[in-house]
A and B are shown apart, each in its own frame.
Chain A
Amino acid sequence: MIELEYVLFLSAVLFSLGLFGVLARRNAVMILLAIELMLNAVNINLVAFTVYLSPDLLVGIIFAIFIITVAAAELALALAIVLRLYRTRSSVNVDEVNLMRW
């Protein structure tokens, strides 16, 4: 029998790894990879809550489906921006992209 806490620990570990990746990487594509990892951790959490706390309502799983939809849209747009960035600057290093920083 899997305790609810173990599933939550797993998603917490994955989310923290993703947070570290977002903060510490320079490559824009690597940051996107880490964001996908964090969204997956959130999905694990939502599914676990649905299964253990309210299996008759299924609302958490519906929410996870919408998160996957929004993640796909976000990733497509972000990759288009990254490709554009690479074409104009021939680099995807986020440290060098500080045009909008004051």
Chain B
Amino acid sequence: MHVGTGASIAFWIMAVVAVVSASGVILLKDIFRAALLLVVSFLSIAGIFVTLNADFIAAVQVLIYAGAISILLIFAILLTRDVQEGNPSNRLKIPGMFMGAVLLTALIVVFVNTEWRLSTEAPLDSTTAALADLLFSNKFVLAFEIASVLLLAAMIGAVVLARGEDE
């Protein structure tokens, strides 16, 4: 990886912002503010993709996650919010915290103890053209077409489910 100290500083700033806003999403009482913090988290993750030289996926992250998915979530929150019931935890709070801590410890131990075979090649300057070549090559074009069918099926299913059978 040929990145300067600037990219490194940007990575750490955005990592801290992502983790802080993600904890806010999990811990805040107000669901609407939690959704807005989730957008902050998505945007800083897009910044992390930029520091990793993955330009196309960063643009997709901003367009789909920070744009479409967060709008959909906020729309659903506004339609279903009990006046100020807030965001109570259920009785699994302590076991949930325990499970999260155990998973985090296990993952960090694995990451530290694994010998990564780092590639010596420099990453591509722009991944977009290479990704398009690969996505429409014989390897992935079938999966790409099936993904569009999946989206169509999900769209029809969502319309049918949300409309209900009584109309």
In the bound complex, residues from chain B placing their C-beta under 8 Å from that of A64 are 57
A29 to B77, CA, bound (A): 7
Give the contacts of B132-158 with A (CB-CB under 8 A).
Answer: 134-135, 140, 143, 147, 150-151, 153-155, 157-158
Asked if B3 contacts A1 (CB within 8 A), the reply is: yes
Asked if A33 contacts B34 (CB within 8 A), the reply is: yes
Q: Given that A34-B26, A75-B73, A82-B76 are contacting pairs, would A9 and B111 also be in contact in the complex, using a CB cutoff of 8 Å?
A: yes
Asked if B161 contacts A80 (CB within 8 A), the reply is: yes
A75 to B72, CA, bound (A): 8
Whether A24 sits at the interface, judged by CB under 8 Å, is: yes
Interface size on A, residues (CB 8 A): 73
In the bound complex, residues from chain B placing their C-beta under 8 Å from that of A81 are 161
Q: How large is the interface on B (under 10, 10 to 19, 20 to 34, 35 or more residues)?
A: 35 or more
Q: Given that A21-B26, A26-B90, A72-B68 are contacting pairs, would A47 and B38 also be in contact in the complex, using a CB cutoff of 8 Å?
A: no
- Is chain A's binding surface mostly helix, strand, loop or mixed? helix
Asked if A79 contacts B76 (CB within 8 A), the reply is: yes
- From residue A72, how far is it (CB to closest CB) to chain B in Å? 6
A82 to B127, CA, bound (A): 38
29 pairs of residues in contact across A and B, judged by CB atoms under 8 Å: A2-B7, A16-B103, A20-B97, A21-B25, A21-B26, A22-B96, A23-B100, A24-B26, A26-B88, A27-B31, A27-B87, A29-B73, A30-B34, A32-B76, A33-B73, A43-B61, A47-B52, A53-B119, A55-B119, A58-B127, A61-B54, A61-B131, A66-B143, A70-B150, A72-B64, A72-B154, A80-B158, A80-B159, A94-B90
Closest 9 CB pairs of A and B: A23-B96, A73-B154, A24-B96, A20-B100, A80-B161, A12-B107, A16-B104, A80-B158, A80-B162
